[in-house]
Amino acid sequence: MSEELIYHCCPGVAWRGCQETGAYTGSPDDARDGFIHFSALAQVRTSTANHRAGQAGLILLVVAADKLGPALKWEPSRGGQLFPHLYGPLPLDAVVQVIDLPLGADGEHQFPEGYPD
């Protein structure tokens, strides 16, 4: 069985800033909502376009969902789709990859190959 991965887009500076504390606590939007917002693979491009459009300096955190325990809940959100929400800090050891998301000439974030539209 393959590892289930979930995705979180954030400013690179926020990610680098949490390296000393050992956990990422999310954005101001996450704090307001009481959980860290994640997306499944099929949702990540749309979520980034909807909530981070035009923002430079972003990174994509690829996270092993099985390392998050019961604090991870899949809950209905946009259009009734289930989205992963983490009720607590993200432990750094759950992050399996960090990907830069530069802005293209069209102003959209450039994802690596394999990320569906």
Closest CA to 51 of 63, 41, 62, 43: 43
Q: Are 7 and 38 in contact (CB under 8 A)?
A: yes
Question: In terms of C-beta density within 10 A (0-12 exposed, 13-18 middle, 19 or more buried), how is residue 89 classed?
Answer: middle
The pLDDT assigned to 1 comes to 39
**For the segment 46-93, what is each residue's pLDDT rounded down to a tens digit?**
999 888 988 999 999 999 999 999 999 999 987 888 999 999 999 999
| Full-model pTM | 0.91
CATH number at 5-101 = 3.20.170.20
Where do the structural domains in the chain lie, given as residue ranges?
5-101
Question: Which single residue is written with the structure tokens 């499944």?
Answer: 40
Counted residue by residue, the chain has a size of 117
The pLDDT assigned to 10 comes to 93
CA 73 to chain centre: 14
- Local structure of 31: helix, strand or coil: helix
